[in-house]
Structure formats: structure tokens, C-alpha cells
Structure 1
Amino acid sequence: MDQTPKEKVIEEETGRFSKFLLSLGIEERGAKVLIVIVITIVLFSAYISFRLMAPFGFPENKMITVKKGASLTEVSALLEKENLIRSQSFFEFCAKLVGGAKPVSAGQYLFKEPISACRIAIRIARSISGIPAVRVTIPEGMSNKEVAAVLKKNISNFDTIFFLEHARPQEGYLFPDTYHFPENITAQGVETMMIANFNKKIEPWSDAIETSKHSLRDIIIMASILEREASNPEDMALVSGVLWNRISKGMPLQVDATFMYLLGRKSSELTTADLKIKSAYNTYTNKGLPGGPIGNPGIVTISAAIHPTATSYMYYLSDKDGMMHYAKTFNEHVANKAKYLR
């Protein structure tokens, strides 16, 4: 029976392949075994690829939460339940491969589009949330109330009331900085991040604080005052020297910055009655530092509080242009008032 042109081509190609195998020293029987092995490897690879690829119906923009302390098995079960992976065992293999002893990191993860099990494993092992970040800058010296206003403006559904109530004891310890918050971050999450940043930034100053003979709390209170009372590093350090001098001599600090925190009023708006108000933040009627920080200071004022400029000055004032004028005696201070505040 005559062969069709297609059959002739196949026969010729088979012949060429057989000759090629023979040229490599592989007999026909061995060639068949080799072909079976190659096909097996290809099919096995295809199976693995299929099991690792994103499943059909992968939910886009899916958010999951990996709880703190969750095991790899619990995470893989969650992912399979949410149809984010095809196979728990294949996911767990990838997770152990990329994460080693710590294949799971707690947190929230956003999956906008289908990705493979191994890519999911990489993200969860390395804590790559996929949640867009919101850039927020908190200036130095802001009170918690002012911080909350900035956060409310930049973060959707930010719970200002919870933040102000929960973070009240942390006034002074919410470090001012530029943050990249996840867009779905909670008020408590913001507080946690800011306190963690404070602890990180203050740690290098631990020895200096101990040497200063002041507690961390006192340093932070003083630094928060300096944020309001002076505008440059030199004056901050000098004002720090003046205020520590007054404390050491048992004199009231008589700083107006605490009234801005307490009453929301500037120096020019204060009345005689305001200066007599009963409060731990009244630095006219009470000696020593006020009852707590009046804002959240940055490193420059913290440094000034730790390392004040040694001085014999006991008084200072700021003129209408923001220039500082210092005095050693009350009479000199009165003269400065007459000269610079009229």
C-alpha cells in the first residue's frame, strides 16, 4: 500500500532521530526508554506547574489576615479555603523553601490579581503585604490632638476618638517623622508604629540620658517644652540650660507654652486668671516640670534637653521677630521686656 506524503515525512523524521540516537551510541531499545523518561519528566513538570499556578476563579482584591502565631498548616488551609492556592502541600513546600525556619509572618495581605503559590509564599514569608502605603509627615512638637488631625486628614476612616483616648498616656512618645502607613491601618496600628519608632530613635541616647541624671520622662517633658519655646538648635540648647537652672534653684519655669497645650491660647491671649488656673501644667503656680509632655518632641530638642548649654542666664524672652533675649537677673529681664516687647 502506497504511503501518503505525511506518512513519508514521519518515517523520514523517525529515521533521522534513530540515526541521531545511534550516533550517540544509544540503541533503539534504549531510545524508547529515554523517550519514556523524557515524557514522564515533562508530564511531571507540567503537573507541578499546574498545582502551583493560580486556581481558576482566583478572587481579585482579596484581603486575608494571618494571625500572630499561626502555623504554616493553618495558613495554607486558609489560602486553600479562600481559593488562593490549588494545593496546601505544594504551597507549604514553597513556603519552607523561601522562608526556612520562619515561613509565616503575621499581618494583612492584599492580593489584587492571580499569582502563583510560590509568589504567595514569598510574600507571606517576607511580610510583603501588597497594601498601598499612605505617606504621612508628623512635624516635631505636635500634641496628640494635632497629630490626630493630620492622621484624620490622610488616612481613610481614621478613628480620632479612639486614638486620642488610647494614646493619651503616650503623649511625648509618638515620634514625629515621615511614615508610610498601610492605607487600611487602624488608629491603634498607627500608635504602635509611632511608639516603636520612638523606641528605635531613643535607644542610641540611653547612655547620655543616664549620664544627664534626668529620667527619660523628664527629658521628654523638657524637650516638648523646647519645641514650643525656641526655634533653632542653638536657642533650644540655651533655653534648656535656663530652664534646668530654674528647676535646680527651685524657681517656677513660667513658660507660656504649657498654656497653649492646656487652654489653646498663645502668650498674647493669656489673662491673669489663666496664669492662676489650678493645673499640673501651670508652670507659674507650680515649681519643676509640668505634669507631662505637651507634645511629641524630635531628636533635636531631645538632644538639647540632654545636653543643655551651660549658662548663668535665668530668664529669656522672644521678641516679635522670634529673636531670643536672655538675662541673668530679674531686673535685666524687665529691661529686655521694656526694650523688645513694646
Structure 2
Amino acid sequence: MTGNRPDKKAIIREKMIEREGEARVVRKIVLTISIILFLLVAITAGGGYFYIKSALKPVDPENKKEMTVEIPIGSSVTGIANILEEHGIIKDARVFKYFVKFKNESGFMAGNYELSPSMTLPSIIESLKTGKVEQDVVFQITIPEGKQLKEIAKIIAEKTNQSEADVFAKLNDREFIQALMNKYPDVLTEEILAENVKYPLEGYLFPATYPFYKEDTKVEEIIMVMLDQTEKVISEYEGDMDERQYTAHQLLTFASLVEEEATEKLERDQIASVFYNRIETGMPLQTDPTVLYAHGEHKDRVLYKDLEIDDPYNTYKYQGLTPGPIANAGTVSIEAVLHPAETDFLYFLATASGDVLFSKTLDEHNAKKAEHIN
């Protein structure tokens, strides 16, 4: 090696030292970033914990001044929580809602309550379960199971002295529907606005008897009371819906088909079983009420020519569920969909006496049809 040439070993050592220095710097940067991220997560988690802990406490333990809070008929837990937060009785509506679910509380009653910001959540809940409606019922609206939107519009019109056309127009007003979607996001999703859905609110006005306390109650208010009830009912089946991966729209659509096929003697869980079996084997559902809905009319009997209508609701031509509900379904039909019977049936036949005959094969079904249907 000449005197002016650098020592290769020295150069290598120098580069190694340089790399080790760079590595130490990188490790320090990574460690610093990791510590910062850990602190941010800890702060966020801690903040959430303390926020929820605070929200579970009274708004103001020293403020015992009572105020009148009105809980309307048909209010859902979400609606009640929002009212309490607006009046300053609770700190956070969402925390109240989850607290109610966690405690499995129910049975809240409509009425005018004297509540204060010093009340604890358990005491508020207890008060809401013992309320009394102070007003007299001015009129009632009864919506039976299996009613379609046009029929419900007629019922509402008769009770409110409005024209059926005006009520039906309000039920299909897109601006009103969008406002309802904003108010009930867990129930009214974008699915109701799908291209093939005939009427967005079809199947969403829950069958029940609704009392009203003002002579001039608006149609909008009536609809919201009904949707409050729908939201309340649907929320009770969240676990079952998650298990079957159903949206509210899918559940109400399926339940409406069961509802429309039902008779007083019919085991709805077996009807649901037939539909499930057909879907699993790739068979169309072939249920007559969907054909009538596609035609937009009621008939005592579906003829072969009726089956030819080219409509997404015609389950003789299109497989699977209809684009949306074809009527409103009660809890019995909803539960039948969520808990169907276990059968091998692929066909059923309702006789004139209201009995229902189930079959596994088409030959067996046709034989029963020849015997019981003229």
C-alpha cells in the first residue's frame, strides 16, 4: 500500500460508525413517534372514558329546579333521549340510549314529567316508566297488519278530514321522505329510494292503534308517531338482524311477504321456511300477493295471465325478495322471518277453509291443489 492511499479497513470502520450513528438516530425517531402515538391513544381513550363517566352523572347535582318535559305518544328511546338532552335533563342522548339498552330498560310511557338536572339516570328512567297522559284522546288511528300504503292513506284521510290523494301525496313527497330519513337513519336508509321501489314508505308504518290528543294533528306528525313505533320495534330485533345480516329494509320486505300469505290458521314460521328453502335452492318465491302488488290491484284469485306481468315485484319472473315491502308486517311475521321453522317444504297451499297444506314436491303440491282448489 502506498503512503497516500487510504487504509481500506479504516474506511470500512468509518462507514460502519456512520451507519450505526444513522441507525441510532432512526431508532430515536421511531421511539419518539411511538411514544407520541401511545400518548395520543391513551389520551383519546382516557378522554372517552372520562366523558362517558361524566355523561352518566347528573347534569347539575345542585340544580333541583323542576321543569315540565313532554314525552309524546309512540316516542322511541332515541326520541326520548333527544328530548331529555334538549331540555338539559341529561348530558348526552347517545350515552343515555346505550345506558337504557345496557340495563335492558323498557316500558316508557308518554306523558308530562316534572324533571330536574339534578336527577340521576336511574331516577329519570324510573320516572319515565310511571308517567300518565294528562290529555284526553281526541281520535285514534288503527292500522291493521297487512295494509298497504294506499290503504293507510285512506285510513289517515278519514280521521283527519283530508283527501286521500293529498295524504298519499304527502307519504310520497321526496322532500318529506328525506327529512324522515334524516330523523330515522337506522330504519329509513337509502334502500327505500332504490330505483325499483314503488313507494318508499311502503311497509314502514307499523300496524298498531295510535291515540292522538290534538284535533288538528298534522299528517306529518301522524307519520312520525308511526315511524317512532317502527323504530322501537326494529330496535328490539337488532341482535337477530345482525345474526342474519339483514337490514331493516330486507327484514320488513321479507316479513311483508309472509304477512300477505298468512291466514288466521297459518303457521307463519313454516311459510318463512318455504321461502328460505326456495331461495337456497335457487327457486323463485312464486307468491301470488307480489303479482297483485305488481298489478296494483286486489283480486280474489290470480289468473295465469296475471303471472306474465314484467315487474320487479313479480316473484314468478324474478328470483329473491321483492325490491321493497308490499305491505306492513306485524311482529308475528317479523319473528317468523328471524326464527323460521326447520322444514323441507318447498310448496304450500291455502284452502278455502283457511287451512294450509305444505308439500315437499311439485307432484304432491299439484295433487293437493286438484283435491282442494276448484
Q: TM-score, normalised by structure 1?
A: 0.60
Q: 2:357 aligns with which of 325, 332, 337?
A: 325
Unaligned 5+ segments in structure 2 are 1-82, 88-113, 119-130, 178-198
Letter in 2 for 1:144: L
Q: C-alpha separation between the residues in 1 aligned to 2:249 and 2:286?
A: 20
Shift of 1:211: 1.6
- What does residue 298 of structure 2 align with? 265
Q: C-alpha separation between the residues in 2 aligned to 1:223 and 1:70?
A: 36
Q: C-alpha separation between the residues in 1 aligned to 2:286 and 2:300?
A: 11
- What does residue 205 of structure 2 align with? 174
Shift of 1:129: 9.0
Would you say the 8 A contact 1:241–1:308 is kept in 2? yes
Alignment of 1:115-130 (within 5 A): none
| Structure 2 CA distance for partners of 1:241 and 1:128, relative to 1, 3 Å | closer
Q: 1:149 aligns with which of 137, 154, 157?
A: 154
- What does residue 210 of structure 1 align with? 242
Would you say the 8 A contact 2:143–2:152 is kept in 1? yes
Shift of 1:286: 0.3
| Structure 2 CA distance for partners of 1:234 and 1:256, relative to 1, 3 Å | closer
- What does residue 255 of structure 1 align with? 287
Q: C-alpha separation between the residues in 1 aligned to 2:134 and 2:153?
A: 25
Alignment of 1:170-319 (within 5 A): 170-182=201-213, 183-232=215-264, 235-263=267-295, 264-266=297-299, 268-272=301-305, 274-319=306-351
Shift of 1:134: 1.1
- What does residue 60 of structure 1 align with? none
- What does residue 109 of structure 1 align with? none
Letter in 2 for 1:315: Y
Q: C-alpha separation between the residues in 1 aligned to 2:282 and 2:220?
A: 39
Would you say the 8 A contact 1:148–1:163 is kept in 2? no
Would you say the 8 A contact 2:143–2:208 is kept in 1? yes
| Structure 2 CA distance for partners of 1:234 and 1:207, relative to 1, 3 Å | farther
Q: 1:140 aligns with which of 145, 152, 156?
A: 145
**Is 1:161 matched with 2:161?**
no
Shift of 1:259: 2.4
| Structure 2 CA distance for partners of 1:254 and 1:206, relative to 1, 3 Å | same
Q: What's the C-alpha RMSD, in Å, of the aligned pairs? A: 2.8
| Structure 2 CA distance for partners of 1:265 and 1:271, relative to 1, 3 Å | farther
Partner of 1:334, secondary structure, is helix
Would you say the 8 A contact 2:265–2:355 is kept in 1? no
Shift of 1:187: 1.6
Q: Size of the alignment, in residue pairs? A: 226
Shift of 1:101: 5.0
Q: TM-score, normalised by structure 2?
A: 0.55
Q: C-alpha separation between the residues in 2 aligned to 1:186 and 1:297?
A: 24
| Structure 2 CA distance for partners of 1:285 and 1:127, relative to 1, 3 Å | same
Letter in 2 for 1:266: K
Q: C-alpha separation between the residues in 2 aligned to 1:238 and 1:99?
A: 48
Unaligned 5+ segments in structure 1 are 1-67, 72-97, 103-125
- 1:184-211 superposed Cα distances (whole Å, 9 cap, x missing partner): 1222111111111111112111101222
Name the stretch that deviates more: 237-246 or 218-227.
218-227
Shift of 1:266: 2.6
Letter in 2 for 1:276: E
Q: C-alpha separation between the residues in 2 aligned to 1:222 and 1:70?
A: 37
- What does residue 366 of structure 2 align with? 334
Q: C-alpha separation between the residues in 2 aligned to 1:151 and 1:234?
A: 29
Letter in 2 for 1:172: G
Letter in 2 for 1:157: Q
Letter in 1 for 2:242: E
Shift of 1:293: 0.2
Q: C-alpha separation between the residues in 2 aligned to 1:204 and 1:132?
A: 27
| Structure 2 CA distance for partners of 1:234 and 1:209, relative to 1, 3 Å | farther
Shift of 1:340: 1.0
Would you say the 8 A contact 1:256–1:266 is kept in 2? no
Q: C-alpha separation between the residues in 1 aligned to 2:342 and 2:324?
A: 25
| Structure 2 CA distance for partners of 1:222 and 1:232, relative to 1, 3 Å | farther
Report percent identity of matched pairs. 32
| Structure 2 CA distance for partners of 1:299 and 1:70, relative to 1, 3 Å | closer
Alignment of 1:73-152 (within 5 A): 100-101=116-117, 133-152=138-157
